[in-house]
Chain A
Amino acid sequence: MIDVQALSKKFGDNLVLSDITTSIQKGEVVAIIGPSGSGKSTFLRCLNLLETPSSGSIEINGKNLTASKKEIHKIRQQIGMVFQHFHLFPHMTVLENLMYAPMKAKGLKKYDAEGKARQLLERVGLAQKADAYPNSLSGGQKQRVAIARALAMEPELMLFDEPTSALDPEMVKEVLEVMKDLAKSGMTMVVVTHEMGFAREVADRVLFLDHGVLVEEGEPESFFKHPTSERARDFLDKVL
């Protein structure tokens, strides 16, 4: 589904991603881990062109992203993204947050958008918050709304950038539960995370980045038990 070839990204002279090649299958859940500043977010953001790659190519469902800048809206509509800091629209209610993009970007009728939105709120356990404004929600609730907002576009792929890092510890679980359900439903997911437990339990594959290099990738079982590279061993020693 996603095919990344020799992807590099520079910010000025700073080489942040270096020659990354990998592919992700439909229905696969991929966890990206690595030290701070290793380029995890940048990699994820390249996948929906929030960052423009300096070189290399990214194909999603056979469409080359960098070559289709004009169609980028259409492509982004098929890729949901969840941010560390939620970025809900503060001047809209929870329900409006979910209905806005389907109506504006996909031309859904209000009635259909609302039906879909309420169904998704039910799914993330927040049906009773439909008319609340984001600022009145807890962090965990905000992030669940953000996930529902992304799902409202019925994406084929979901990107998560440290979705639980900004949360109080007691709220991490409710968000991870929603993500696990999503993984079970067969959604293709790419998740940048510091939650090694989640990576181990839910991911089909782990990518380990260090200094912009894809150092190692593999199934979680073998990666966490027997990392082959020195750098991955060092990293795991520190975080586990």
Chain B
Amino acid sequence: MNLDFSQIVPYIPFMLEGIWVTLKFVFFAIILGSILGTVLALFKIGSAKPLRWFADAYTSIFRGTPLILQLMIIYYSIPQLTGYDISPFLSAILAFGLNSSAYISEIIRAGIQAVDKGQLEAAQALGVPYGAMMKDIILPQALKNILPALMNEFITLTKESAIVSTIGYLDLMRRAQVVGADLFRNFEPLLFVGLIYWCLVMGLTVIGRMVERRLKLSD
């Protein structure tokens, strides 16, 4: 074994910068995925058949094909079809946002359906309009049940974000490869960013536990 971490020292700032680059698009992807996922979940439990059908088809497609394929299709086909030269950053947000919305919609749907039916009936009996009932009564209670599953999805997204390196986005993973090519040593930089990914995931886990504890206070 001849590990030599001293050689990557000059590259450390370059690799650390990748944290920010990765987090930036992961953050936007999570926002997009959550909003879209909520909308899709509402379609799935709603009474409008075409919307339900659309949401189911959407979920089936995005869960049924590889994420890396979706990423490539967005990155390469949009310029080809529309002439718009989409950046790797935007492609990454779109691919990860659209993809995770499929998973998130399933999590939220299950969460909504697990809320006691009496809550819905109580709100209906009081004459509360559907939108307000969903926003104020059902979704907050669903959220509490699904928080662990949701956190899990965010963690998966953060880890899987490494595949954006394939479209040349200079994220953590890509930076490790760049450094590796520079040094003709791959193991050390890969190990280094591996540690960073692990720290990011631990950070998310801790945040998730904190939020969970917060929500449990009303019990």
Instruction: Point out the residue from A85, A88, A149, A153 that lies within 8 Å of B127, measured CB to CB.
Output: A153
Quick one: closest A residue to B133, CB to CB?
A104
Given A50-B121, A89-B137, decide whether A150 and B116 contact each other with a Cβ distance below 8 A: no
- Which residue from chain A places its CB closest to the CB of B130 in the assembled complex? A73
Inter-chain CA distance A79–B119, complex, in Å, is 17
CA distance A88 to B122 in the complex (A): 8
Contact partners of B13 in chain A: CB under 8 A: none
1/0 per residue, CB under 8 A from B, across A64-97: the answer is 0000000001111101110101011111000000
Q: Which of B195-219 contact A (CB under 8 A)?
A: 218-219
- If A87-B116, A91-B218 touch, whether A76 touches B137 (CB-CB below 8 Å) is no
Contact, CB under 8 Å: A77 / B141: no
Q: Which one of A75, A76, A83, A104 contacts B118 once the chains associate, using CB atoms below 8 Å?
A: A83
In the bound complex, what is the Cα–Cα distance between A114 and B140 (angstroms)? 22
Q: Tell yes or no: B69 within 8 A of A by CB.
A: no
Chain B nearest CB, measured from A78 CB (Å): 8
> Which residues of the other chain, B, contact A74 by a CB distance below 8 angstroms?
127
B116 touches A91 (CB 8 A): no
Q: List residues of A (138-191) whose CB comes within 8 Å of B's CBs.
A: 149-150, 153
- Which residues of the partner chain B approach A101 to less than 8 Å between Cβ atoms? 123, 126-128
Known contacts A89-B137, A90-B218, A135-B219, A81 near B125 by CB under 8 Å: yes
Known: A83-B122, A135-B219, A153-B127. A90 touches B132 (CB 8 A): no
**B129 CB contacts on chain A under 8 angstroms:** 73, 104-105
B119 and chain A: residue at smallest CB distance: A87
Chain A: number of interface residues, binned into ranges: 20 to 34
**Set of chain A residues within 8 Å of B4, measured between Cβ atoms:** none
**Which B residues contact A (CB, under 8 angstroms)?**
116, 118-119, 121-129, 132, 136-137, 140-141, 144, 218-219
Looking across the interface, which residue of chain B has its beta carbon closest to that of A105?
B127
Note all chain B residues with C-beta closer than 8 A to A77. Answer: 126-127
Q: Give chain A residues whose Cβ lies under 8 Å from the Cβ of B122.
A: 81, 83, 87-89
Q: Which residues of B contact A235 (CB under 8 A)?
A: none
Do A83 and B121 touch (CB < 8 A)?
Answer: yes
Given contacts A73-B127, A105-B127, A135-B219, contact A87 B121 (CB under 8 A): yes
Contact B136 A104 (CB under 8 A): yes
Residue of A nearest to B217 (CB): A133
- A132 CB, nearest partner CB in chain B, Å: 11
- A residues less than 8 Å from B118 (CB atoms): 83, 85, 87
Residue from the list A100, A133, A153 in contact with B136, Cβ < 8 A: A100
Q: What are 23 A-B contacts with C-beta separation under 8 Å? A: A48-B125, A50-B121, A50-B124, A73-B129, A74-B127, A77-B127, A79-B125, A80-B125, A83-B122, A87-B118, A87-B121, A89-B119, A89-B137, A90-B218, A90-B219, A91-B140, A91-B144, A91-B218, A133-B218, A133-B219, A135-B219, A153-B126, A153-B127
Which chain A positions have C-beta within 8 A of B144?
91
Is the CB–CB distance between B140 and A50 below 8 Å?
Answer: no
A154 to chain B, nearest CB (A): 11
Cα distance A159–B10 when bound, in Å? 75
Chain A residues, Cβ within 8 Å of B128: 73, 100-101, 104-105
Task: Please determine whether A104 and B132 come into contact, CB atoms closer than 8 angstroms.
Answer: yes
List A contacts of B119 (CB < 8 A): 87, 89
CA gap between A106 and B128 in the complex, in Å? 9
**B140 (CB) vs chain A CBs: closest residue:** A91
Q: How far is the CA of A16 from the CA of B127 in the complex (A)?
A: 26
How far apart are the CA atoms of A77 and B141 in the complex, in Å? Answer: 23
